[in-house]
Every structure is written in structure tokens, then in C-alpha cells.
Amino acid sequence: MIKRTYLDYNATVPILKDVKNSLINCMEIGPLNPSSIHYFGRKGKDIIDGAKSNIKNLINANNEEIVFTSSATEAINLLFSNFDNIIVSSIEHLAVLSSSNTNHVIPVDKNGIIDLNYLELYLKKNVNKKNQTLVSVMWVNNETGVIQPINEVVKIAKKYECLVHSDAAQALGKIKINLEETELDFLTLSGHKIGAPTGIGALVYNNKLSLKPQILGGGQEKGLRSGTENILGIMGFNEAAKLLMNTSKIDCSRVQFLRDYFTNKVKSYSPNTIIFGESANRVANTLLIALPNVPGDLALMKLDLESFSVSSGSACSSGKISKSHVINAMGYKKLASNSVRFSFPPNDYILNSESLITVKELDRLADCWSNLELKTI
């Protein structure tokens, strides 16, 4: 029987073994409701405080507060509910595009890099200082893996007294995040992208800023996110963050070797393959490609039958396969339904601790990819 190969880590990272153990230990402590003042309630509060401290250390957030949410999507919605004037890039995750409710969209180039000149000209012409403007640009794109020039975005935005948010769900665990250096005002994170369970995310915000809650009730999370906290999710996020901190650095050299090895095989076997964002600065684990004559949904089904679990470029919305707005924004409109994303483990630690992907498997995958083209000619 052929081993199933999972290459959809940008969608979710399997729960790490150490994280699973921490969840079991947490459940054995007892009924942990942090709102209770007795022993078990205090234990729950200690878990939350410890998790916030570790996550802040991981991203060097010395002057920030953290609000735990059910996901990065909820964190984004909470943040955006505080602003009427939001400017976003054209390649943002649907959580940003849908909740921002804005027509102020910054274009990108053929590699998916934000047009900084357009951003500056737009802010210079349109910013109304009486109505606080929020600029939101994702740190790493979930489809292409392209890294945005966040420091330059912040510099331009601050010039016009705007606040700045970055969706860092796809950056955490893949590249270094240092909030002391970037001077972002807001950051949103997702636990299951680094090996924690699903159902836990976070909003990180400058402690000099005030926000209004979106969900009202018992006043948990300093009044910003009412509802009994997801202790197991928070414990899992905490453990995954600690594992990243315990590595001397976020090493992705082996992951990049495998990604590049597969890329070269694909180029050799299928010269017609389009590689999106190839000449841009990308995270090591992500590859988005397309064959001009092969629909993405067909490619996914064929590869799944060959025991390869991958996704379409636009696979982050309730199991749907639709045209990729990212590819469309990059100027490849005719290929917006053809893209397929191969996302390897986010870093070498997760690669080595979970399941070692072999070059033999990648050889077979490249062969299957080339057969897709042959069967549609």
C-alpha cells in the first residue's frame, strides 16, 4: 500500500506529539475555568498568563497585549470592527478582504509584492486624520508564500499617521518575527499553523491603544473577548510556541531543499508549469504552480487518488475550490482556476519531528504531475 504524503501544511499542521502530551496533562489537572477564584480556576489563569508570556517572547513583543480568540479570522474581525477606514492589499486572506468591507485595495506586481508607491500615493491623497485609518498587509501570503516588505509598509503608513496590522498566520514558525523591530500596531496569529490544535488564535496589539469588544458577556480577556477561554487550545498554542523558542533559530534549510528539489523535478518533467512568485522572496515551505491546460480541481482529485494530499491555491474557505483572487491580482487571470499549492512542513523541527518526506516520494509526485499534462492533451 502506498504511503499517503501530506503536503498541505499551510492549511493546518498536524498536532505535534509534545503538544498532544501537554493537552493530556492539562486535562488531568481538573476542571479549569479561569473565571473561578478557587484552586482550579487559578491553575487555568496561570496557563493563560504563561501562554501569553511565551508567545510574546517568541515574537519579541515587549509592549504588546494578547487577546486569545477562536482563530486568526476571529481576531481579524475583532480588530476590524474598531475601524471604519481600512486599506488592504489585493492578495489578503478572505478573512481580511471580507471583514474589512473596503474598496481601498492596494495592487501587487506579477510576483505578488505590494506596490509601495501606490500605497504612499493613496495615503497621501486620501488619509483623513479625523478618522483613524488602518493599513492591513499580510506578512506571508498563504497561497504563494511570498513575503511582503512589512517594514517598508509600516514606514509609509506611519508617515501619514496610520495604524498598521499584519496577518502573520503564515509567517509564524517560518520566519523571524520581531515586533520591536517592525513597530506594527496589530498582529494576528493562528495556533494550528504551528502544530497547536485548531480553534485557537490571537490578536496582539500595542498596549497604548484601546479597542472595543465584538463579543459581549462575562468580560474575559480584559473585556475584549467574552466567553470562557479555550484552555486546551491555549495550552496547545503555548506548548507549540515553547517548542519554537527552544530551537536556536527557525531553521528551514532542509524544508527548502525539499521544496527546491521538487521544483526542479517539476521543471524538468513539465516545462510548461507556471511557478508563481518564483523570483520573489518566499518562505521555504511553499510552492504554488499551475499547468495552463489542467484545471486545479482536476489536478487535486488526480493527485489525491495517487495518495498526495495537496490543495488548490484558494483552499482556505469551507472546502470550496474557486478561482484564486491572489493569482488574479498578480495578473494571471487565465490561470486563476488552475493553481495547486504544495506546502511542506513550516520548518525543519516540525519536518523532523513529525514525518520525514523523502525525495523518492517527491520524484513520484513530480511524475504524477507530469502525467496530468499528458492525460489532458
Active site residues: 316
Return the number of other C-beta atoms located less than 10 Å from residue 289's C-beta: 23
Residues 6+ apart with CB under 8 A from 128: 85
Task: Enter the C-alpha cell of residue 18.
Answer: 509534545
d(CA 70, CA 79): 14
Cell 498532544 sits at which residue?
20
Contacts of 205 (CB under 8 A, 6+ apart): 64, 65, 67, 79, 185, 186, 187, 211
Expressed in percent and rounded to 5, the helix, strand and coil fractions of the chain are: 40, 15, 45
Distance from C-alpha of 348 to C-alpha of 345, rounded to nearest angstrom = 7
Distance CA 306, CA 329 (A): 31
- H/E element, 270: none
Q: Are 321 and 297 in contact (CB under 8 A)?
A: yes
DSSP conformational letter for 220: T
The C-alpha atoms of residue 215 and residue 219 are separated, in whole angstroms, by: 9
Closest residue by Cα to residue 54 from 249, 243, 241, 195: 241
- 243 sits in which H/E element: helix 231-246
Q: Which residues touch 363 (CB under 8 Å, ≥6 apart)?
A: 265
Cell numbers for 262, please give them: 521538487
Helix (H) or strand (E) holding 122: helix 116-126
Report yes or no: 327 and 275 within 8 Å, Cβ to Cβ.
no
